[in-house]
């Protein structure tokens, strides 16, 4: 019998065996548990929306994390043109300006276009890109079909980048581009990426695209592939046309205006604001999270 056939039949007949590497007592697991703290994002209005509850003078109090939870994998989702890429770029630029190394996996737009956009983002934020440009390591999955279509090769590339440049932050714009034409595999791919981020202690942002305008502000991310159930938290971006006097009154806007909206749809790693907020994209392309829309239940 050829070796490969022997291996195959052995695999089929193998008696179930426990995997002891998957078993931890509470204290053993705690030894590996990272302390939760906030990572400032450079996005105005966002950082105070995450909090933890701490005992202060024998009472439990909400304390702002002042950022997204460290080591979390956050899904940033919305339909086209809602500001996902702008936000992801703003986060990348801000972390790099603070001296952190950020891996930016670009799946839709080639690296030379992304870097031009990152430079514009820096200028809008009043930062000098030249001072920290090499803190950003671009992985161009838009140009390399091999890494775009082969998750193990992509992760091997990312592992190399993380080790070589001591990367702590990973941004993927977008994960949806990694399962084009193979939506059946969406969950498996995102699960694999998620596990990888955890293994390498990355704080990560996965951008994902929503297909339709239906249920704008729910976490039916990536067109309903339930990516939201795998990641630690989801931030949803939406835009709405003011096309009725009712909406004009509700949002205090004029008919014909566009309102942009933002909501955190769950975060396992910390407490979070649950209200829907206005979102603004300035002329220079900066995303700001504004006041909650207040008293309005937008589809939930």
Ligand X SMILES: Nc1ncnc2c1ncn2[C@@H]1O[C@H](COP(=O)(O)OP(=O)(O)OP(=O)(O)O)[C@@H](O)[C@H]1O
Interface residues with ligand X (CB under 6 A) are: 78, 80-86, 209, 281, 283-285
* Bridge partners, residue 106, by sequence: 140, 173
CB 153 within 8 A of CB 161: no
Count the Cβ atoms, other than its own, within 10 Å of residue 99: 8
Which partner in Mg ion, ligand X, none is near 38 (CB below 5 to 8 A by kind)? none
Which partner in Mg ion, ligand X, none is near 233 (CB below 5 to 8 A by kind)? none
Residue 178 Cβ vs Mg ion, minimum distance, rounded to whole Å: 14
* Residue placing its CB nearer to Mg ion in the complex, 222 or 242: 222
Residue 210 Cβ vs ligand X, minimum distance, rounded to whole Å: 8
Which partner in ligand X, Mg ion, none is near 82 (CB below 5 to 8 A by kind)? ligand X
Query: How far is CA 208 from each of CA 51, 219, 255, 270, 283, rounded to the nearest angstrom?
Result: 24, 11, 30, 21, 24
Strand order, beta sheet including 271-272: 59-64, 50-56, 271-272
Residue 143 Cβ vs ligand X, minimum distance, rounded to whole Å: 17
* Residue placing its CB nearer to ligand X in the complex, 38 or 177: 177
Which partner in Mg ion, ligand X, none is near 218 (CB below 5 to 8 A by kind)? none
CB 54 within 8 A of CB 275: no
Distance CA 118, CA 154 (A): 22
Which partner in ligand X, Mg ion, none is near 78 (CB below 5 to 8 A by kind)? ligand X
Q: Is the peptide bond before 174 cis (omega within 30 degrees of 0)?
A: yes
Stretch that binds Mg ion, among 40-48, 82-90, 130-138, 235-243 (CB under 5 A): 82-90
Residue 211 Cβ vs ligand X, minimum distance, rounded to whole Å: 10
Single out the residue of 96, 133, 101, 98 nearest to residue 200, CA to CA. 101
* Residue placing its CB nearer to ligand X in the complex, 227 or 281: 281
Task: Assess 75 for contact with Mg ion (CB under 5 A).
Answer: no
Query: How far is CA 151 from each of CA 62, 138, 190, 235, rounded to the nearest angstrom?
Result: 40, 17, 10, 24
Residue 183 Cβ vs Mg ion, minimum distance, rounded to whole Å: 19
* Residue placing its CB nearer to ligand X in the complex, 67 or 78: 78
* Residue placing its CB nearer to Mg ion in the complex, 107 or 217: 107
Stretch that binds Mg ion, among 18-26, 85-93, 176-184, 255-263 (CB under 5 A): 85-93
* Environment class of 185 (CB within 10 Å of its CB; exposed 0-12, middle 13-18, buried 19+): middle
Q: What are phi and psi of 229, to 5 degrees?
A: -75, -20
Binding Mg ion by CB under 5 A: which of 85, 90, 203, 276?
85
Residue 108 Cβ vs Mg ion, minimum distance, rounded to whole Å: 6
Residue 85 Cβ vs Mg ion, minimum distance, rounded to whole Å: 3
Distance CA 204, CA 168 (A): 9
* Residue placing its CB nearer to ligand X in the complex, 153 or 215: 215
Which partner in ligand X, Mg ion, none is near 281 (CB below 5 to 8 A by kind)? ligand X
Query: How far is CA 146 from each of CA 107, 141, 150, 154, rounded to the nearest angstrom?
Result: 12, 8, 6, 8
Residue 134 Cβ vs Mg ion, minimum distance, rounded to whole Å: 24
Q: Which residues bind Mg ion (CB under 5 A)?
A: 85
């Amino acid at each position: 019998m050829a070796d490969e056939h022997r291996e195959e039949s052995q695999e089929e007949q193998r008696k179930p065996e426990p995997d002891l590497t998957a078993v931890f007592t509470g204290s053993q697991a705690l030894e590996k548990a990272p302390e939760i703290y906030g990572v400032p994002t450079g996005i105005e209005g966002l950082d105070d929306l995450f909090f933890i509850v701490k005992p202060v003078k024998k009472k439990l109090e909400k304390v702002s994390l002042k950022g997204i939870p460290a080591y979390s994998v956050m899904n940033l989702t919305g339909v086209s043109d809602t500001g996902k890429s702008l936000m992801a770029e703003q986060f990348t630029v801000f972390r790099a300006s603070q001296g952190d190394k950020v891996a930016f996996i670009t799946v839709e737009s080639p690296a030379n276009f992304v870097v031009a956009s990152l430079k514009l983002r820096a200028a809008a934020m009043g930062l000098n890109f030249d001072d920290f440009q090499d803190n950003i390591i671009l992985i161009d999955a838009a140009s390399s079909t091999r890494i775009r279509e082969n998750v193990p090769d992509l992760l091997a590339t990312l592992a190399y980048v993380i080790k070589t440049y001591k990367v702590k932050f990973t941004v993927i714009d977008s994960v949806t581009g990694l399962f084009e034409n193979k939506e059946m595999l969406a969950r498996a791919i995102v699960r694999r990426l998620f596990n990888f981020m955890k293994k390498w202690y990355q704080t990560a942002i996965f951008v994902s695209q929503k297909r339709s305008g239906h249920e704008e502000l729910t976490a039916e991310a990536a067109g309903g592939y339930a990516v939201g159930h795998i990641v630690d938290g989801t931030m949803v971006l939406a835009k709405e046309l003011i096309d009725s006097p009712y909406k004009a009154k509700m949002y205090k806007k004029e008919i014909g205006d566009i309102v942009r909206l933002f909501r955190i749809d769950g975060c396992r790693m910390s407490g979070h604001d649950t209200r829907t907020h206005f979102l603004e994209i300035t002329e220079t392309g900066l995303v700001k999270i504004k006041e909650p829309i207040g008293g309005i239940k937008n589809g939930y």
